[in-house]
Amino acid sequence: MQLRYWGTLAYDGTAYQGFQRQAEGVPTIQAEVERAAATVIGQPVTVLGAGRTDAGVHASGQVIAFDADWRHGAERLLSAINAYLPDDIALFHLEAAPTPGFHPRFDARSREYRYVVLNAPVRDPLLGRRVWHLRGALDAEAMQQSAAALIGRHDFGGFGKPPQGENTIRTVLRSEWTQEPHETGFLWVYSIEADAFLQHMVRRIVGVMTMVGRRMQPVEIIPRLLHEGVMPVGLTVAPPQGLTLVKVRYSAGETPAEAITGKL
C-alpha cells in the first residue's frame, strides 16, 4: 500500500538548474531526488517541493513529499535514499505525511529565506558559493529602514512575477538585516518570511536594498515600488549563490523537522 511521506531536504544548488525537473539531462534537485528514491523503492517516484528555488540557490529547509510503497519504515527509507543521493544533496528528516493528500507547496503557511552578503574589501574563497561579495560601506540604518518597509500585505509586482496567474499580492511577516563580524569585514544576513514569493522576489529585494545601502538609490524607492507594482529597468538583481531557503512552516507553525522531533 502506498503511503505519502514528507521530509526536509538540504542542498547546495551550485551545480543545478534549480529545484524543478526540466528536460532530460538537465541537472535539477527534483530529478536527483526522484532518481535516488526510485532506485530504492523500485518504481518511478514523483517528488513534490515546497519552493521552486532558482538555479544556484541553496536550501537547508526545503520540504518535499512523495508516495511510496515501502514496508521497512521511514528511518530505513531515509537512510537508503541518502545513500543514492550525490554529496551536495541530503534528506534530513522523513516520516509519514500528516494527511494522505498533503502537498508541501499548497499546504505551506509561510516560507523563510536568508540572503548573505559579505561586505569586505577582500573576497573569502571559502564562502564564494554562499555569499554575494560587495566592497564599500553599507548604510545600516538605510538598509534596516528599507527592510521594515516591506512588512505587511503589499503588491510586490515591482519585485517579481508570479509563478502562476497574475496575483502579485503577498504578505511579508518578517524582514530584517543582521550583521556578523568576519575576518575581512562583515556578513550582512537578510531574513525574510512571507506567505508566498514571486519569481526572483528575494533577489530583487536584496539588490534594491543594497543599492539603498550604497546610496545609489533613496530609501523611498521601496515604498515607491510597492505602490507602483511594476518592475523598473536598471535595478540590481542579487546573484543566486547568497540565497538559501531555510524554513517552510505548516499548521501550528511546525516544520517537518519540528513535527518529527516532537514525536520522538
Query: Residue 189, Cβ neighbours under 10 Å: how many?
Result: 16
The H or E element spanning position 127 is: none
What gap in Å lies between CA 234 and CA 230, rounded to an integer? 13
Better pLDDT: 194 or 232: 194
Sketch out the chain's domains with CATH numbers: 3-106 (3.30.70.580), 110-246 (3.30.70.660)
Q: Is the pLDDT of residue 164 over 90?
A: no
Cell of 260: 518529527
Q: Which of 203, 248, 181, 198 is nearest to 190 (CA)?
A: 203
Q: Which residue, 170, 172, 171, 190, is CA-closest to 180?
A: 190
Q: Which of these, 75, 98, 2, lies nearest to 44 by C-alpha position?
A: 2
Mean pLDDT, to the nearest integer, of 51-62? 96
Q: What does the pLDDT read at residue 253? A: 55
More confident site: 229 or 195: 195
pLDDT value at 254 more than 80: no
Strand pairing partners for 132? Answer: 117
Q: Which residues are catalytic?
A: 54
Q: What does the pLDDT read at residue 150?
A: 98
Q: State the Cα–Cα distance between residues 219 and 141, nearest whole angstrom.
A: 10
What is the average per-residue pLDDT within 17-34? 96
pLDDT tens per residue, range 204-215: 999 999 999 999
pLDDT confidence tier of residue 7, bands split at 50, 70 and 90: very high
Q: Is the pLDDT of residue 262 over 50?
A: no
